[in-house]
């Protein structure tokens, strides 16, 4: 399906999506901030936020409620918004680059590279950067994976997209095998750390992790938005995009670098969370079409909505324990992935 290039049509669809998703994200954030062991009503949530902004609160609240919301829940929810947006917009961009609806950051080994970095540091007991060691290891692992894939996919000084996808699958398998080896060699405590990281969680969210990840994720997300037009041209094929004046090679490298930056930062603070990058762009595409001017910003919003809701379910469904958020997203993403496979088989795309 070719994207609609008529500006007024794409503006109308984007406005329609924004009118639905922005209020929905606001409601989900307020709901998530209020639900937990310490109950905080929606008006109290708004009042606490207003007071933090130096404005007059709407209703009374206790100091305990304000402390819980500001110190524990708000950084966690904000981190969920950032991670969901990064994974979803990266998935939309990867699907546009490879012209493959099943492409997502996990398929290229970016997430598994991060996991391998964490497993290696954990088992080898490398804690050079103290508390931040595992996050830095995850970020470095994801960057090394995408650099290896990009180098292997070079052909006559051009990046072969098909080769990049195949190399990504091979690197992904290699990283998974490496993580499996370190898991086999790990002690019980190390195994718990590796498993928790692989399943993903926002439980360790702090203002420090938010401030660390936010600049990188915002740079990735905003940068992707500027590449919407080149991605639309790439849907017509590289040769046609080249004829339309798109510097295809520069777009490929920029996209890959932004995806590595955003996904690496997201995995570093939350662990591996699957299927968001696969499912969210498809939902937006089915709803409002494949135009990347619409797809990219709305994928970021819907990714944030789904991540906030998934985290809310993860921390409340089995209280007092907490379910890894990757299990929640995989339970919803796996059936949708199977649906895509069946749908593509019917249309003889695969």
> Residue 350: its pLDDT value, please?
45
Residue 202: φ, ψ to 5°: -110, 15
> What is the DSSP annotation of 144-177?
HHHHHHHHHTEETTEE-HHHHHHHHHHHHHHHHH
Tallying the residues shown for the chain, one arrives at 350
User: Is 275 in contact with 330 (CB distance < 8 Å)?
Assistant: yes
> Residue 27: its pLDDT value, please?
94
| Per-residue burial over 191-226, b = 16 or more CB atoms within 10 Å of its CB, e = otherwise | bebbebbbbbbbebbeeebbebbbebbeebbebbee
Angle at CA of residue 328, ends 321 and 92, nearest 5°: 145
End-to-end C-alpha distance for the chain, whole angstroms: 16
Contacts of residue 252, defined as CB under 8 A and 6 or more positions apart, other chains included, come to 97, 159, 161
> Residue 290: its pLDDT value, please?
85
91 closest CA partner among 220, 250, 213: 220
> Residue 320: its pLDDT value, please?
77
d(CA 35, CA 69): 10
Q: Give the pLDDT of the chain (350 residues) as one tens digit per residue.
A: 455 555 566 777 888 889 999 999 999 999 999 888 888 888 989 988 888 888 878 888 888 888 989 888 999 999 999 999 999 999 999 888 877 777 777 777 777 888 888 888 888 888 777 767 777 787 788 878 877 887 787 777 666 777 877 888 888 889 889 988 988 888 888 887 777 777 888 888 888 889 888 988 898 889 988 999 898 888 887 788 888 888 888 888 888 888 878 887 888 788 888 888 888 988 898 888 888 899 999 999 999 999 999 999 988 887 777 888 888 888 877 787 677 667 766 665 44
d(CA 97, CA 120): 31
> Residue 6: its pLDDT value, please?
58
Burial classification of residue 12, based on how many CB atoms lie within 10 Å of its CB (0-12 exposed, 13-18 middle, 19 or more buried): middle
User: Is 103 in contact with 165 (CB distance < 8 Å)?
Assistant: yes
For residue 259, what are its two tokens?
């995806």
Where are the alpha helices (H) located in the chain, listed in sequence order?
7-34, 42-52, 63-68, 74-98, 110-124, 133-152, 161-185, 188-199, 207-225, 228-234, 238-243, 248-270, 276-288, 292-316, 325-346
Query: Is the Cα torsion angle 310, 311, 316, 320 positive or negative in sign?
Result: positive
> Residue 327: its pLDDT value, please?
85
61 closest CA partner among 74, 75, 42: 42
Contacts of residue 173, defined as CB under 8 A and 6 or more positions apart, other chains included, come to 109
């Amino acid at each position: 399906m070719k994207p609609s290039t008529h500006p007024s049509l794409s503006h109308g669809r984007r406005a329609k999506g924004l009118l639905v998703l922005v209020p929905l994200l606001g409601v989900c954030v307020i709901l998530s901030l209020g639900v937990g062991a310490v109950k905080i009503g929606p008006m109290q949530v708004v009042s606490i936020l207003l007071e933090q902004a130096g404005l007059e609160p709407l209703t009374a609240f206790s100091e305990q409620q304000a402390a819980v919301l500001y110190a524990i829940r708000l950084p966690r929810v904000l981190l969920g918004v950032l991670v969901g947006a990064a994974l979803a917009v990266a998935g939309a961009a990867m699907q546009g680059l490879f012209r493959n609806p099943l492409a997502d950051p996990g398929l290229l080994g970016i997430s598994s590279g991060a996991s391998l970095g964490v497993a290696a540091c954990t088992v080898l007991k490398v804690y050079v950067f103290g508390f931040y060691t595992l996050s830095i290891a995850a970020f470095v692992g994801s960057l090394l994976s995408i650099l290896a894939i990009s180098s292997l996919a070079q052909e006559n000084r051009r990046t072969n997209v098909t080769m990049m996808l195949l190399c990504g699958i091979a690197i992904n398998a290699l990283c998974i095998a490496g993580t499996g080896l370190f898991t086999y060699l790990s002690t019980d405590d190390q195994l718990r750390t590796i498993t928790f990281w692989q399943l993903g969680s926002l439980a360790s969210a702090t203002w420090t992790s938010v401030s660390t990840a936010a600049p990188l994720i915002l740079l990735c997300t905003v940068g992707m938005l500027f590449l919407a037009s080149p991605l639309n041209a790439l849907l017509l094929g590289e040769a046609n995009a080249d004829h339309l004046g798109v510097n295809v090679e520069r777009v490929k490298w920029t996209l890959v670098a932004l995806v590595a930056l955003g996904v690496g930062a997201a995995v570093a603070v939350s662990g591996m969370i699957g299927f968001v990058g696969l499912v969210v762009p498809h939902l937006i595409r089915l709803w409002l079409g494949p135009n990347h001017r619409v797809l990219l910003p709305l994928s970021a919003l819907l990714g944030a909505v789904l991540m906030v809701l998934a985290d809310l379910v993860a921390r409340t469904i089995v209280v007092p324990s907490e379910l890894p958020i990757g299990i929640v997203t995989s339970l919803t993403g796996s059936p949708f992935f199977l649906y895509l496979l069946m749908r593509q088989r019917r249309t003889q795309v695969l």
